[in-house]
Amino acid sequence: MSLLSYLINGISLGSVYAIIALGYTMVYGIARMLNFAHGDVIMVGGYVALTVVLSYSTNPLVAVLVAIVVCTVLGIVIERVAYRPLRGAASPLAVLITAIGVSYLLQNVVLLIFGPNPKSFQSVVPFPDLKLAGGTLNISAETIVTIASCIVIMIALTTFINKTKAGQAMLAVSEDKGAAQLMGINVNGTIALTFAIGSGLAAIAGVLLCSSYPSLSPYTGSMPGIKAFVAAVFGGIGSIPGAMIGGIVLGVIEILSKAYISSQLADAIVFAVLIVVLLVKPTGLLGKKIQEKV
């Protein structure tokens, strides 16, 4: 039974990685940039939800909604102020470093407002744990909600991209910015929309992450951020199902190596698996093979 419960925990953690990785992968697919501030948006989402729960409303749904709204706006503002001016810069590294600057900025603003000490987060999931197999298998309600949210988000996002005009515009911009513009697509608007969706997802991921691992500090977001980035690359960056698979595989590997090998080496094992996958399939599991043109 313990293997099964580890697996379920792994899938739950992996679902959070997957939701974060979706944000990474969408932004990468469309703006060709690694948004290193994405992990810190998760952390901001956690703090917003915590503040709402503690001082305004105890309804968890309200807290989540407020967090989503704040992070969405934050994502749009970051894109507008820090990233858009650098579109067309001579080196793609410029926007990467700016993203790191934004990441430091978010961490330090939160540090000034809330202080450096970790805050304990109250789970926003109001349901009791699920006991199966005569009480030997205990699945926490957070786990179920996390996995369910991940599935819902995945379906919603796929439908959005394939069935709506805005979604099709996103695909077009990620294929070829210039051609998309010629077809009358508002490229800047589409990119802003992508950041908005990615940041909204980050807020959800933040709340879910903090519900399962109830400790929140200004640096909470950075490690899950990096892991989700790894997950996105693992699945093939730019691919939405890839982000999903990458996230879940990563979460399962992490939990299993923590349980059976060494908790200190878990991160090293995760990264080693990534290296092996990339060496065998250099563009990730579901990544598109880019043809080299002369």
Partner 1 sequence: MCGMNKKKKLRSNLITYGMVIAAFAIVQILQSTGHLSSLLQGLLVPICVYVILAVSLNLVVGISGELSLGHAGFMCVGAFAGAIFTKCTQEAITIDLLRFVLAILVAALAAAVFGILIGIPVLRLKGDYLAIVTLAFGEIIKNVINVFYIGKDANGFHFSLKDQFSLGMEPDGKVILGGPQGITGISKQSTFLIGVILILITLFIVLNLIDSRDGRAIMSIRDNRIAAESIGINITKYKLMAFTVSAALAGVAGALYSHNLATLQASKFNFNTSILALVFVVLGGIGNIRGSVIAAVILTALPELLRGLADYRMLIYSIVLIVMMLFNWAPKALEWRERYLGRFFKKSAKEGE
Residues at the site binding partner 1, with contacts judged by CB under 8 A: 28, 34, 36, 82, 85-91, 93-98, 100-102, 104-105, 107-109, 111-112, 222, 226, 229-230, 233, 237, 262, 264-265, 267-268, 271-272, 274-275, 278-279, 282-284, 292, 294
Residue 193 C-beta: closest distance to partner 1, Å = 22
User: Which CB atom, from 53 or from 274, has the smaller least distance to partner 1?
Assistant: 274
User: Which CB atom, from 89 or from 152, has the smaller least distance to partner 1?
Assistant: 89
Residue 69 C-beta: closest distance to partner 1, Å = 24
User: Which CB atom, from 195 or from 229, has the smaller least distance to partner 1?
Assistant: 229
User: Which CB atom, from 104 or from 127, has the smaller least distance to partner 1?
Assistant: 104
Residue 135 C-beta: closest distance to partner 1, Å = 35
User: Which CB atom, from 108 or from 136, has the smaller least distance to partner 1?
Assistant: 108
Residue 13 C-beta: closest distance to partner 1, Å = 18
Q: Distance between CA atoms of 258 and 201, rounded to whole angstroms?
A: 27
**Cβ proximity of 74 and 199 under 8 Å:** yes
Residue 101 C-beta: closest distance to partner 1, Å = 4
Residue 152 C-beta: closest distance to partner 1, Å = 28
User: Which CB atom, from 215 or from 262, has the smaller least distance to partner 1?
Assistant: 262
3-state secondary structure the chain: CHHHHHHHHHHHHHHHHHHHHHHHHHHHHHHCCCCCCHHHHHHHHHHHHHHHHHHCCCCHHHHHHHHHHHHHHHHHHHHHHHHHHHCCCCCCHHHHHHHHHHHHHHHHHHHHHHCCCCEECCCCCCCCCEEEHHHCEEECHHHHHHHHHHHHHHHHHHHHHHHCHHHHHHHHHHHCHHHHHHCCCCHHHHHHHHHHHHHHHHHHHHHHHHHHCCEECCCCCHHHHHHHHHHHHHHCCCCHHHHHHHHHHHHHHHHHHHHHCCCCCHHHHHHHHHHHHHHHCCCCCCCCCCCCCC
Residue 278 C-beta: closest distance to partner 1, Å = 6
User: Which CB atom, from 100 or from 132, has the smaller least distance to partner 1?
Assistant: 100
